[in-house]
Each structure stands twice: as structure tokens, then as C-alpha cells.
């Protein structure tokens, strides 16, 4: 456990996801395997995220596990332009073509609100996030 603490600052486990603050300041959001996120899950993820970062804008790294999907209602909630999103930028790491289609839809919804990009590799996503504004 002591070894793990060198690489993370704090974590939170939700119903279908977890939040982890990485030492570089990136907030990693891991969406669980084989779950479908609905509108209630989307609301919970946003509420917990705001508390997790104390409302301070963060570089968010969303990792979508194998078999994870979201309803259209959840995607629309995630992409709501009314949100005062506590994000500097968001990188989404996806695993499948179906997830890419959902992520592309989400990126189109939030276009212009905050930088968002889709990746297939976690390392590339973190590298991009670290180049985004303060």
C-alpha cells in the first residue's frame, strides 16, 4: 500500500466508477467494466467530481473500461452546455469502436465548452492533458 501512495494522492469509489488523483494533478475517472451509465449515474459522477476536486478546475482523464456504455440521456447530461464544468480539459480513453461512436457524440456535444479529445492509449492522453491550459 505504501508503494501505491507514491503514485496517487486520494481516491473515491462510486457505484460504477472511481476517482483517483494522480501526482501530476490529473484526475483519473475509471468507468467500470460491463456497466451502462444512465442519467442518475451521470448526475452522481458530476456531483462527486465537483466535491472530489473541491470545485477547482482539473485535467480529467476518463478511462472507459471494456463493455462500459452510456444511455443517450446520460451522454446529453455529460455534454450539457449549462454546466460549469470543473475541467481544464478532458481526455477520454476508449477500448472499442462502439465506445468511440459514443465518445464522438459526446465531444460534439461539448465542443467549445472545454477541450476534449479521444485516445486509445492512456499515456498519450496524459501527455495531451499536461499540455492544456492552467
**Residue 89: which residues within 8 A CB-CB, separation 6 or more?**
59, 60, 114, 115, 116, 117, 128, 129, 132, 133
Residue 62's Cα: distance from chain center in Å? 3
Is residue 115's pLDDT more than 70? Answer: yes
**Average of per-residue pLDDT across 45-53:** 90
In a domain, 131, yes or no: no
In a domain, 129, yes or no: no
Q: What is the CATH number of the domain that holds 35?
A: 3.30.750
| Local structure of residue 32 (DSSP, 8 states) | P
Range of the domain at 118: 2-122
In a domain, 22, yes or no: yes
What does the CA dihedral 116, 94, 96, 4 come to, rounded to 10 degrees?
180
How many structural domains compose the chain?
Answer: 1
More confident residue, 26 or 103: 26
In a domain, 8, yes or no: yes
In a domain, 132, yes or no: no
More confident residue, 81 or 95: 95
**CB of 39 within 8 A of CB of 77?**
yes
Q: In the block, which residue shows the cell 494522492?
A: 9
In a domain, 63, yes or no: yes
Is residue 28's pLDDT more than 80? Answer: yes
What are the tens digits of pLDDT across the range 59-94?
999 999 988 888 888 888 877 756 666 688 989 998
pLDDT band, residue 104 (cuts 50/70/90): confident
DSSP string, 68-109: -EE-HHHHHHHT-TT----EEEEEEE--SHHHHHHHHHHHHH
* pLDDT value for 85: 60
pTM, whole model, 2 decimals?
Answer: 0.83
**Average of per-residue pLDDT across 23-29:** 92
Amino acid at each position: 500500500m505504501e508503494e501505491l501512495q507514491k503514485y496517487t494522492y486520494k481516491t473515491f469509489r462510486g457505484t460504477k466508477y472511481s476517482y483517483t488523483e494522480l501526482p501530476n494533478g490529473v484526475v483519473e475517472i475509471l468507468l467500470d467494466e460491463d456497466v451502462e451509465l444512465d442519467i442518475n449515474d451521470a448526475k452522481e459522477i458530476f456531483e462527486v467530481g465537483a466535491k472530489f476536486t473541491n470545485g477547482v478546475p482539473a485535467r480529467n482523464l476518463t478511462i472507459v473500461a471494456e463493455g462500459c456504455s452510456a444511455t443517450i440521456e446520460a451522454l446529453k447530461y455529460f455534454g450539457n452546455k449549462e454546466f460549469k464544468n470543473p475541467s481544464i480539459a478532458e481526455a477520454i480513453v476508449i477500448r472499442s469502436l462502439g465506445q468511440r461512436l459514443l465518445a464522438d457524440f459526446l465531444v460534439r456535444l461539448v465542443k467549445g465548452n472545454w477541450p476534449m479529445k479521444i485516445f486509445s492509449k492512456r499515456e498519450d492522453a496524459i501527455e495531451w492533458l499536461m499540455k492544456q491550459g492552467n
